[in-house]
Amino acid sequence: MLTKLKQQRAFHLMLIPSVILVFIYSYLPLYGMIIAFQDYNPGLGFKSHWVGMDNFEHVFRQPNFVRTIWNTLYMSFFKLIGGIVVPVIFALLLNEVARAALKRSFQTLVYVPNFLSWVIMAGIMIDILGSDGIVNSLFVFLGAEPISFLGSPSMFPWTMIVTDIWKGFGFGTVVYLAALTSIDPGLYEAALIDGAKRWKQTIYITLPLLMPTIILMTVLSLGNILNAGFDQIFNLYSPVVYETGDIIDTYVYRLGIQQAQYSVGAAVGFFKSIVSCILLVLSYILAYRVAGYRIF
């Protein structure tokens, strides 16, 4: 065993730097989660006084906490549904375009927003959705009332849902288009001989063959259901829309970093990490069972 280890020394040495860094910045924070059960005092650090479940009890009683859970699930759910339906339909329509160059051009255009940060996207949103922005100018021109997309609690969640789908659907389109091009064209020819027209071909051939990819993408996004999009919401929300727009992550940030209530913030984070972990493991198991997909 010792001689074996000696032979392998180079391999273990290669792993050491990564192991140390992961230990410090991923595993020590896990240990740091104990502050959720303490009354964190910066002077005492992780040796602060233990308070048991007090922080959790305190948080769960807050009406704001229930509200953030609801807002998170609400926006996540519709983002997930739209994030599947829109790219599937767009990919199906794009697949009907015969000329490859044209197909690629459309794909190129819709894939751009995907790579820009939410800071830049928020800069654009604030400009075009503002009261004197181009969208409201269009509404006024058409004789409609201007809409406060980012300032009204009833509009805000839907603005988030639509703009999130807008930014992200190019990626899904690329994935589904790749799946569509791998379908055997012989199947369509056989269907045509049997008298099936385009619409029927889509229902009976294309959609069933696309299903594994659709299921895979759905299942993989299930693990993210508690992430309703911190980057997006943090950059676009304001106290006026906390009622409908505040999510778990923005709540943790305000409690923990801005108000320096480290222990309470950590308690909310602890709760979220546990639930997210369960969902992620479930989604990986499902992805493997249903679509035979595994990453490790």
Site for other proteins in 98-117 (CB under 8 A): 106, 108-113, 115-117
* H helix intervals, 96-206: 100-111, 118-129, 134-141, 156-181, 185-193, 198-201
- Residue 273 makes contact with other proteins by CB under 8 A: yes
Q: Which of 213, 222, 221 is nearest to 291 (CA)?
A: 213
Query: Among 243, 251, 248, which residue's Cα sits nearest to residue 152?
Result: 243
Residue 268 near residue 248 (C-beta atoms within 8 A): yes
Per CB under 8 A, 217 contacts other proteins: no
Residue in 56, 74, 166, 204 binding other proteins, rule: CB under 8 A: 166
Rg (CA), the chain: 25
Is 230 an interacting residue with respect to other proteins (CB under 8 A)? yes
Taking CB under 8 A as the rule, does residue 219 contact other proteins?
no
Candidates 47-55, 66-74, 202-210, 287-295; binding stretch for other proteins (CB under 8 A): 287-295
CB 161 within 8 A of CB 94: no
Tokens 């990986």: give the residue: 284
Identify the residue among 53, 66, 158, 189 touching other proteins (CB under 8 A): 189
What is the helix (H) or strand (E) element at residue 32, kind and residue range?
helix 28-32
Minimum distance, C-beta of residue 98 to other proteins, in the bound complex (Å): 9
Q: Work out whether 151 is an interface residue with other proteins (CB under 8 A).
A: no
CA 76 – CA 229 distance, rounded (Å): 8
Q: Based on CB atoms, which residue is closest to other proteins, 123 or 153?
A: 123
Q: Minimum distance between the CB of residue 225 and other proteins, rounded to whole angstroms?
A: 15
Among 56, 60, 74, 188, binds other proteins (CB under 8 A): 188
The alpha carbon of residue 232 and the mean position of all alpha carbons in its chain are separated, in whole angstroms, by 10
Looking at residue 115, its amino acid is F
Is residue 231 at the binding interface for other proteins, with CB under 8 A as the rule?
yes
Closer to other proteins by Cβ: residue 31 or 52: 31
C-alpha distance across the termini of the chain, in Å = 27
Residue 47 sits at φ, ψ, to 5 deg, of -100, 20
- Contact residue for other proteins among 30, 100, 101, 142 (CB under 8 A): 30
> Toward other proteins, which CB reaches closer, 6 or 61?
6
Does 277 contact other proteins by CB under 8 A? yes
Window contacting other proteins (CB under 8 A); options: 56-64, 75-83, 153-161, 230-238: 230-238
What would the two tokens of residue 154 be?
A: 């009833």
Integer Cα distance of 94 and 277 in angstroms: 36
172 binds other proteins (CB under 8 A): no
Minimum CB–partner distance for residue 2 and other proteins (Å): 11
Binding of other proteins by 275 (CB under 8 A): no
Q: Give the one residue of 26, 100, 143, 195 binding other proteins; rule: CB under 8 A.
A: 26
